[in-house]
Chain A
Amino acid sequence: GAVVSQHPSRVICKSGTSVKIECRSLDFQATTMFWYRQFPKQSLMLMATSNEGSKATYEQGVEKDKFLINHASLTLSTLTVTSAHPEDSSFYICSARDYRRATTEAFFGQGTRLTVV
C-alpha cells in the first residue's frame, strides 16, 4: 500500500512554455500532498503544501503564479510550471500522506526530471 505515482518521469520543454506534472496516490486518499524541488547533490526543498479542495500554501520565496498547484481530488495533485526558464530545470518530487493513518509519514513519488532548453 501507500503508492504514489508521478507523471511524467522526464520532460524536456522549450523556454517560455508550460509543463504540468501529475501526482497521484494510487491506493489511498490524500487530503494533503507536498511538492518538493531538488537540485543535484542537494536535499529536498519544500515548495508548497497542496490541500484538497483549497488553495495551496507556498513556502517563502516560491512564486505561486509561476508554480500553479491544483489538488482537485483526494488522489490527484498537479504542479504546473508556467513560462518555464532554464533555471527551472530541476528534479520535482511530490509526496502524499494517507489521512486514514494515525501515523504521519509521507510517501514519495518517483520524481520528475524537468529540463528547460
Chain B
Amino acid sequence: GQQLNQSPQSMFIQEGEDVSMNCTSSSIFNTWLWYKQDPGEGPVLLIALYKAGELTSNGRLTAQFGITRKDSFLNISASIPSDVGIYFCAGQLIETSGSRLTFGEGTQLTVNP
C-alpha cells in the first residue's frame, strides 16, 4: 500500500520562528491535504492542494504540491503559541482508493513563548 513519510516527527521552536515540515510518498497522489490536530480533538483542515506544482497560502501557512506528485511541504511563518499541535499530511489518489486518505505520521510542534 501507499506509504507516507512525514518529517520531522517533532519540532521545538521559539515564538516568531518559521517552521517547515514535509511529506514524501512512495507513490503518487492527486490530492494533498494538511491538517492540524489539537489534543483530544479531531483534525482540522488547513490547506488542500489539487494540482502538481500548486502553491497555496492560508494566512501564515503555505503549502505546496510537489511536481512529482509524491511530496508536499507545509510552512508556517512567524509562529505563535497557538500553533502548537500535531500537523498531519494526507494524500489521496482517487483512481485507486476513492475518497480514502493516507495519513503521515504527524509532526508535533511545540512553540515556546
Q: What is A's interface to B at a CB cutoff of 8 Å?
A: 4, 6, 32, 34, 41-44, 46, 49, 91, 93, 95, 97, 103-111, 113
A111 vs B40: C-alpha distance when bound (angstroms): 7
A113 vs B103: C-alpha distance when bound (angstroms): 20
Evaluate contact between A110 and B41: CB separation under 8 angstroms: yes
- Whether B66 sits at the interface, judged by CB under 8 Å, is no
- Whether B58 sits at the interface, judged by CB under 8 Å, is no
Please name all residues of chain B whose beta carbon is closer than 8 Å to the beta carbon of A95 when the two chains form the complex: 42, 101
Q: Hey, what's the 0/1 contact readout for B89-113 against A, CB within 8 Å counting as 1?
A: 0001010001111011110100000
The 7 closest A-B pairs by CB, nearest first: A108-B42, A111-B42, A43-B103, A105-B48, A110-B42, A108-B43, A93-B42
Evaluate contact between B101 and A46: CB separation under 8 angstroms: yes
A4 vs B41: C-alpha distance when bound (angstroms): 12
Instruction: Point out the residue from B33, B42, B94, B103 that lies within 8 Å of A105, measured CB to CB.
Output: B33
Evaluate contact between A43 and B33: CB separation under 8 angstroms: no
- Whether B65 sits at the interface, judged by CB under 8 Å, is no
**Given A43-B103, A91-B40, A105-B45: 18 more A-B contacts, CB < 8 Å:** A32-B98, A34-B101, A41-B108, A46-B101, A49-B98, A49-B99, A49-B100, A97-B99, A103-B48, A105-B33, A105-B48, A106-B99, A107-B45, A108-B44, A110-B42, A111-B40, A111-B41, A111-B42
- Shortest beta-carbon distance, A67 to chain B, in Å? 17
Evaluate contact between B100 and A103: CB separation under 8 angstroms: no
Chain B residue nearest to A107 in the complex (CB) = B45
Please name all residues of chain B whose beta carbon is closer than 8 Å to the beta carbon of A105 when the two chains form the complex: 31, 33, 45, 48
Q: SS class of chain A's interface: helix, strand, loop or mixed?
A: strand
A34 vs B73: C-alpha distance when bound (angstroms): 25
A104 vs B106: C-alpha distance when bound (angstroms): 21
Please name all residues of chain A whose beta carbon is closer than 8 Å to the beta carbon of B88 when the two chains form the complex: 43-44
Listed by A's residue number, 12 A-B pairs whose Cβ atoms lie within 8 Å are: A32-B99, A43-B106, A44-B88, A95-B42, A103-B50, A104-B92, A105-B45, A108-B42, A108-B43, A108-B45, A109-B42, A113-B40
A27 vs B43: C-alpha distance when bound (angstroms): 18
Evaluate contact between A46 and B100: CB separation under 8 angstroms: yes
